[in-house]
Amino acid sequence: MAPAVNHAETMPGQISVGAPVKLKVSGEDWIMRGVLVAIGLYLIVAIVLPLYALLSKSFQNKDGTFIGLANFTEFFSTPALSYSVNNSLTIASISTVIVVSLAFVYAYALTRSCMPFKSLFKGVALIPILMPSLLPAISLIFMFGKQGFLRFLLFGHDIYGPIGIVMGEVIYVFPHVLMIILIAMSMSDGRLYEASESLGASKVRTFFTVTLPGIRYGLVSAGFVAFTLIITDFGVPKVVGGQYNVLATDVYKQVVGRQDFEMGAVVSMVLLIPAVIAFAADRIVQRKQIAILTARAVPYAPQPSSGFDAIMTGFCALIAVIIVGILGVALFASLVKFWPYNLSLTLGNYDFSLRDGGGWDAYANSIEMAAWTAVIGTCVVFIGAYLVEKSKGFHTGRAAMQFLAMMPMAVPGLSLGLAYIFFFNAPDNPLNFLYHTMPILVICTITHFYTVSHLTAVTALKQIDAEFESVSASLKVPFYKTFWRVTVPVCVPAILDISMYFFVNAMTTVSAVVFLYSPDTALASVAVLNMDDAGEQASAAAMGIMIVLTAGGARLLHALLTRGLARRTQAWRKR
Amino acid sequence: MSGKDAYLKVENLTKMFGEFTALKNISLEVFEGEFVCFLGPSGCGKTTLLRAIAGLDIQTRGRVEQGGKDISGLPPSERDFGIVFQSYALFPNLTVNKNVAYGLENRKTPKADIDARVAELLESVGLTDQSDKYPAQLSGGQQQRVALSRALATKPGLLLLDEPLSALDAKVRVHLRHEIKQLQLRLGITTIMVTHDQEEALTMADRIVVMDEGEIEQIGTPEDIYSRPANPFVADFVGTMNFLAGTAGANGGVRLGDIDLATTNGPGGIMEGVEDGDAVTVCIRPEDVATRGVTPDTANAIPAVIKTLEFLGSFYRATLRARDTGKTAIRADFSINLVRDLEITEGQDFTIALPADHIRVYGEAFAHADDLI
């Protein structure tokens, strides 16, 4: 072997061997970076700047002068306001404990028993996802309100107040919590159970030494998600809260009722704190969750056990009956003339033209908004996630984008909506023309549900071969061709999931858009709120049912598409 | 080869990952049409070096030249190579045909030419009848050949193979390494393959680059690497080797316990700088230990006891302990015939010899766990 030639000495003018090599950035890399920066800018406009506007508003008085913490001092020294903090924390804590316990047993039944009708039980449990959170609360009033047929079950207590809020929240967040725990449970390793059994451990001991440790991160994560959803939810306490104030309803009252935007901003900021803490804690826990699953894990296969299976079936049946009952009562109430005095059937409540809230136009607006959100949101999220995952170099930009994509999750919908008022309605903002239009509703909704969609896309992208881009570069095929010909087709199931998620949430969301609609862009979910406010509960239920039917229809379509696709592509998807 | 100009030159290449140095000042040359293997244990930097040559993970410092052109800072899309990954990275939603045609379709090549080229490539790897299948419908070996065809389709100047055989069954692997080598010879394409499998490297490569901890330990032909390992690491990593602790003696000889051994110490001059009485490591491969017709008068004879006799199919590997050299164990290969003819059993006294021209002596102590009983 000839000794290496040192070109730094022998060839002046050439790159010195000692100097760091600088990678030439190709045209394609510039395209990637450009698009990444564009999506990053979108998120800056859609979340960072509005949040900044919200933050600065909370430090200003009515004239816009900076007054430091004066608003916050006022908030905490006004008992009527500061009680809400206590109330919110109480409600969220109690509801979280209840819902996580119920969902845990339900998930345990679905994964660890041999009870019948598992897929039916799983399907029923997911029904509340299709509802705006207002709807279960309205149903509760039909059941337990002044004229409720189940009122005796409350033993003289009033449904309006903490009892109603807790019941409504438990139903509303049940499917979200259940899904997280189900995933955690399905990841546990069957071999550990075999080992435990072969070592002679009792069922109880196995439960405490294998089952619980295996899903502890899932449980903690479910708890945080439940807590955040509940403390930031506005629909349930709005309908069934009565005089019991919580932070979420306070924001609404300050802004819509009293037009006190500064105090609204302060309450939003206070609401942001638990949401951010829960979010951060959840992220830390999630990271640990990943580490416990090994590639060689074997799925657990439950053994039949008649007594245990019967108990589990009974428990799940009870929960399922409650959920179906909530939906059934709303449906029935929407179809009768005058609950509970005249129970003859009618479609009159579906004639929204006589009611407040925008009527069928609102429903049409909702569909339009949901469709735009699904289409544009899916494109933006998927391309953004692709660039974060697959572009080369540009580490700062990619990390910043990842951070921006995670931010929306930590921001409650009400805070986001209020932030949008402050930012987009500012007269000197060139984007002011968006205010009170359909686009701002779409932008707000995409942003509100950005994080979960982003994570879904990232997960799907991580599962495909990391070297597609390398191969493509070696064959001199630009990345965007490979993106279109390979990455997108391979990720179609995830893309469908994301668009379905966007659509359903855009149909049901109230919190962020409640501050942003105009008379021309009223939405179905907001109409439910306004009709309920106006005492038109039957029509509110009717509109709620329309939302459930539409969201359910979208889900069904999604299921059919996914199944059809799986059949068409099974030749290359097997393995 | 030194008469020709190198096709690929790597000069003083260094790659840092944060504080960790993955490659330390690597320099090497690859000639046109040559098949070079980067061989080393996992984490030795061989894949990092390959990826730097491809431009996939650019080096921190140093220079890469291909075909006389400085490509040190170019992105992969502006370099000239085809690559096959361990995972193959076949596009799952495209048929075999489409996968192979992928790079051609982007070059404004007429459709008929593409079809002809794809057919020719698939023919050469024997996959003509699989052309309409999807990758998931093929066996691992077939997928590997599709990936190879795709990499070769655009007629790159350099073929890079990153552990292309390690995901396959042992039998398929043996078959495919022969096939890849034949294809490479037929096309005459300059090829670099990364592997941790010494057998693969020895059978396929024209030259092997043995690496450890980000440095090149030796570059040479398979014969060089195996018969004349440059240092104890290479001796240990490639093949099986006895490492015997000894001291340097007079006239280039060495002492093992009470026994004086003559050595020719071959080309390479490893004994240079070693003084009389210094500790050295004496190496010999088990198959080079003389076992038949050895008497105590044979040169370099060592009277020993057979401690274990391990049946390995076509031969026995014996572990012997020299009677006079303390605890040192020596492994030696006994042919089936020998064991049968002499009715050799464990515990028996047996004299072996270490032929002078097969002994390698390294001027450094090298501890090896296997060599102590």
Query: DSSP letters along A349-374, please?
Result: GG-GGGSSS-HHHHHHHHHHHHHHHH
Q: Hey, which CATH number is domain A68-330, 2.40.50.100, 3.40.50.880, 1.10.3720.10, 3.40.50.300?
A: 1.10.3720.10
Half-sphere CA count of B97, side-chain side, radius 13 A? 11
CA distance B279 to A109: 70
* Minimal-distance CA residue of chain A relative to B154: A475
Under the banding of pLDDT at 50, 70 and 90, the label for residue A296 is low
Cβ atoms within 10 Å of B185's Cβ, excluding its own: 13
Identify all chain A residues contacting B103, using CB atoms and an 8 Å cutoff: 474-477
List the single range of A372-386, B71-85, B251-265 with lowest mean pLDDT.
B251-265
CA distance B301 to B353: 4
Distance from CA of B91 to the nearest CA of A (A): 6
Q: With 60 as the cut, is the pLDDT of residue B1 above it?
A: no
Helix or strand (DSSP H, E) at B350: strand B349-353
Q: With 50 as the cut, is the pLDDT of residue A12 above it?
A: no
Strands B190-195 and B35-39: parallel
Count interface pairs A-B at CB distance under 8 A: 132
- Where are the extended beta strands (E) located within B40-170? 61-66, 69-70, 82-84, 158-162
Contact call for A18 and B77, based on CB within 8 A: no
CA dihedral sign, ordered A435, A439, A445, A447: negative
Under the banding of pLDDT at 50, 70 and 90, the label for residue A18 is low
A465 in Cβ contact with B87 (< 8 Å): yes
- Residue scoring higher pLDDT (A354 or A407): A407
B189 in Cβ contact with B148 (< 8 Å): no
Task: List the one residue out of A416, A368, A387 whose CA is nearest residue A514.
Answer: A416
CA distance B177 to A331: 69
A1, A26, A483, best to mutate vs chain B, most B CBs in 10 Å:
A1
Contact call for A474 and B54, based on CB within 8 A: yes
Block residue for tokens 């070297």: A467
Burial class (CB in 10 A: 0-12, 13-18, 19+), B337: exposed
Strands A342-345 and A336-338: antiparallel
Block residue for tokens 């002679």: A200
Distance from CA of A563 to the nearest CA of B (A): 17
Contact call for A470 and B56, based on CB within 8 A: yes
A257 is written with which tokens? 């009722």
Cβ atoms within 10 Å of A446's Cβ, excluding its own: 25
Q: In chain A, what percentage of residues exceed pLDDT 90? A: 49
DSSP state of B107: G
Mean pLDDT over B114-139 rounds to 93
For B66-80, what is each residue's pLDDT tens digit? Answer: 999 999 999 999 999
Pseudo-torsion of CA A144, A149, A152, A158, nearest 10°?
Answer: 20
B49 is written with which tokens? 């070096």
* Minimal-distance CA residue of chain A relative to B138: A572
B13, B77, B148, best to mutate vs chain A, most A CBs in 10 Å:
B77
Distance from CA of A377 to the nearest CA of B (A): 25
Nearest-CB residue to B83 (from A2, A20, A471): A471
Instruction: Kindly report the average pLDDT of chain A as a whole number.
Output: 87
Under the banding of pLDDT at 50, 70 and 90, the label for residue B83 is very high
CA distance B194 to B45: 10
Strands B35-39 and B207-212: parallel
Q: Residue B337 carries which side chain, given as an amino acid letter?
A: N
Block residue for tokens 């802004």: A255
Query: DSSP letters along A278-340, please?
Result: HHHHHHHHHHHHHHT--TT-----PPP-HHHHHHHHHHHHHHHHHHHHHHHHHHHHHHEEETT
B186 is written with which tokens? 């037929």
- pLDDT of res. B369: 47
The residues facing B190 across adjacent strands are: B158
Cis peptide bond N-terminal to A340, omega within 30: yes
Give residues with Cβ within 8 angstroms of B190, minimum separation 6.
B7, B8, B30, B31, B32, B33, B34, B157, B158, B159
- pLDDT of res. A11: 39
Q: With 70 as the cut, is the pLDDT of residue A16 above it?
A: no
Contact call for B94 and A474, based on CB within 8 A: no
- pLDDT of res. B272: 61
Identify all chain B residues contacting A465, using CB atoms and an 8 Å cutoff: 85, 87, 89
* Minimal-distance CA residue of chain B relative to A25: B75
Half-sphere CA count of B301, side-chain side, radius 13 A? 11
Rg (CA), chain A: 26
Query: By three-state DSSP, how is residue A484 classified?
Result: helix
Distance from CA of A385 to the nearest CA of B (A): 20
Task: List the one residue out of B164, B2, B18, B166 whose CA is nearest residue B83.
Answer: B164
B129 is written with which tokens? 């009848």
CA angle, A272 then A274 then A277, to 5°: 105
A126 φ, ψ to 5°?
-90, -5
A162 is written with which tokens? 């903490």
- pLDDT of res. B270: 56
A254 in Cβ contact with A264 (< 8 Å): yes
- pLDDT of res. A69: 86
Mean pLDDT over A360-384 rounds to 95
**Residue A463 contacts B, CB cutoff 8 Å:** no
Under the banding of pLDDT at 50, 70 and 90, the label for residue A258 is confident
Helix or strand (DSSP H, E) at A448: helix A438-448
For B202-246, what is each residue's pLDDT tens digit? Answer: 999 999 999 999 999 999 999 999 998 988 899 999 999 998 888
Identify all chain A residues contacting B63, using CB atoms and an 8 Å cutoff: 7, 14-15, 17, 21
C-alpha distances out from residue A543 to A131, A361, A529, A556, Å: 11, 12, 10, 20
CA distance B319 to B304: 10
A292 φ, ψ to 5°?
-85, -10
Task: List the one residue out of B240, B253, B250 whose CA is nearest residue B319.
Answer: B240
- Residue scoring higher pLDDT (A76 or B155): B155
**Residue A11 contacts B, CB cutoff 8 Å:** no
Q: With 60 as the cut, is the pLDDT of residue A238 above it?
A: yes
Identify all chain A residues contacting B72, using CB atoms and an 8 Å cutoff: 15, 21
Q: With 60 as the cut, is the pLDDT of residue A39 above it?
A: yes
Domain boundaries, chain A: 68-330
* Minimal-distance CA residue of chain A relative to B220: A1
Identify all chain A residues contacting B153, using CB atoms and an 8 Å cutoff: 475
Q: Angle, to 10 degrees, between the axis of helix A438-448 and the axis of helix A450-463?
A: 60
Nearest-CB residue to B92 (from A4, A472, A490): A490
For B310-361, what is each residue's pLDDT tens digit? Answer: 999 999 999 998 877 566 789 999 999 999 988 999 999 999 999 988 888 8
Rg (CA), chain B: 25
Cβ atoms within 10 Å of A486's Cβ, excluding its own: 25
Query: By three-state DSSP, how is residue A28 classified?
Result: helix
Nearest-CB residue to A471 (from B58, B59, B89): B89
DSSP state of A487: I
- Residue scoring higher pLDDT (A294 or A26): A26
Identify all chain B residues contacting A493, using CB atoms and an 8 Å cutoff: none
**Residue A488 contacts B, CB cutoff 8 Å:** no
Nearest-CB residue to A571 (from B12, B27, B134): B134
Nearest-CB residue to A18 (from B58, B61, B106): B61
- pLDDT of res. B366: 64
CA distance A96 to A127: 19
A154 is written with which tokens? 């409350």
Give residues with Cβ within 8 angstroms of A24, minimum separation 6.
B73, B74, B75, B78
B320 in Cβ contact with B350 (< 8 Å): yes
CA distance A476 to A469: 10
**Residue A6 contacts B, CB cutoff 8 Å:** yes
